[in-house]
Amino acid sequence: MDLNRLDHITPRRNYAIFIAPEAEEQPVAKIKVVGVGGGGCNAINSMITRGLNSVEFIAINTDAQSLNTCLAPIKIQIGASITKGLGTGGKVELGKKAAEEDRDKIMKALEGAEMVFITTGEGGGTGTGASPVVAHLARSTGALVVAVVTKPSILEGTPKVKIAEKGIIELREYCDSLIAISNDNIQLAINETASVFEGYDKPNEVLYNAVRGISDLILQSGQVNVDFADVRTVLRDSGDAVIGIGRASGENKVIEALNKAISSPLLEAIDLKHSHSVLVNFTGSDSMTYIEVLKAMERLQEMLNPNAFTKYGFVKDTDMENEVMVTIIATGYNKISRLERTQESNELKLIKDDEPSSIGLISQPITKESEPEIDLTLSLDEIYSPEKDSIYEVPPFMRNKVALQDGKDDGKDKNQTDEIDKNMLDNLKRQKNKEDEDDTSAFLRKLMD
């Protein structure tokens, strides 16, 4: 057998290896939760203990001892040179100065965030003073900034309540959305048999549910996809927001949870029809049926403004077994955009700069076409005549007297008065002529010199 024969040569075989492309990971928004002051650090500890994942925690405080007990992986002590590692003693101005002193450290910790939650207990020194500074820095990075804060109970004293109210007004200026939860309303949601420790932890639970209710919509996958863009649409420059949370189990649990969320004391009796945008999150296991959810959505839609932007999210949590949680976040209350605030500020500045003139609010420059035409034609009748000024040579008190007596007939007294006035007027004219002659003589002498 001839091995060199062409028909006996084994044909060449070509092999190709196809590598299936890896599934692209969907980008996940980077969310940071910042606790400011003692109340904010306590809220962060509660969130971490309750298992809030996929977010980055940052603790900011002036109190070094309190900061060390915080579970947040990133801790920033502020104002060490001001408070010497202690708290502010309830002084808001110290809290603000402390944050401004370490603004570079805060700014570095906020880098890369697409959404920033700021949580604090309003009414304290560090939280009330530092949180607006933190919000302003977060806003400057372009992140979506949402503040979730608690307001003190009236039982904590009127001064603290007033400090909190003033702090919320300042904080609102630098946030896209602000959720302020009153401790008085939280107390209404506490079971009468709850221990004192459970009662004091209830505000932390509410803050946790508020942050989780929003972050789950972004981070947790569900049958109906809600991404960061949707949440940003609802919360960007949305003003004040309110939150309602309801839990239920057993039969008709979804409707019951929704009713509890709607009637939640946290909503502070606000009419949902006045909201511009609404986020609704249903969290539960496979026991949450499709028909139940549809009925709940129909029930809620009846209570909302038909023009409101509404977004529903559904999160599966097998640990909830037969329980369902409904979270409602309604936004758009006390809404005023930064553009409107800037325009108002500019208008006030123009008025101030141009006082007492009123031209500060002129929005269009005066052009040649808009300038009023001035008649430069001279009429001979309008040529100046010295005789016309003679009336102004009479003292004001005499002119006023003549005006008052005009048209009145007082008989003899009036004639006497007229004679006296005539004599005074003659004297004034003679004095005036003498002054003119003196002025003329002085003028001629000056020319001759």
pTM exceeds 0.85, yes or no: no
Residue type, position 225, single letter: N
pLDDT of residue 118: 97
pLDDT for 375 equals 47
The tens place of each residue's pLDDT in the chain, 449 residues long, gives 555 555 555 555 544 444 444 444 555 689 999 999 999 999 999 999 999 988 999 999 999 999 999 999 999 999 999 999 999 999 999 999 999 999 999 999 999 999 999 999 999 999 999 999 999 999 999 999 999 999 999 989 999 999 999 999 999 999 999 999 888 888 877 888 888 888 888 889 888 988 988 888 788 766 666 778 888 888 898 888 888 889 999 889 999 999 998 887 666 667 788 888 888 889 898 889 999 999 999 999 998 888 888 888 888 888 888 999 998 888 887 654 444 444 444 444 444 444 443 333 333 343 444 444 444 444 444 444 444 444 444 554 455 544 445 444 455 455 555 555 566 666 666 665 655 555 555 544 544 55
Whether CATH 3.40.50.460 fits 27-219: no
CA distances, 218 to each of 174, 204, 212, 230, 404 (Å): 22, 21, 10, 9, 83
Strands 277-284 and 177-182: unpaired
How crowded is the C-beta side of 140, counted as CA atoms within 13 Å? 12
User: C-alpha dihedral over 341, 347, 348, 353, to 10 degrees?
Assistant: 140
Using alpha carbons only, what angle is made at residue 373 by residues 367 and 376, rounded to the nearest 5 degrees? 135
The three state secondary structure string of 223-287 is: CCCCCHHHHHHHHCCCEEEEEEEEEEECCCHHHHHHHHHHCCHHHCCCCHHHCCEEEEEEEECCC
Give the pLDDT score at 223: 60
User: Measured between alpha carbons, how far apart are the two ends of the chain, in Å?
Assistant: 150
The pLDDT, as a whole number, for residue 77 is 97
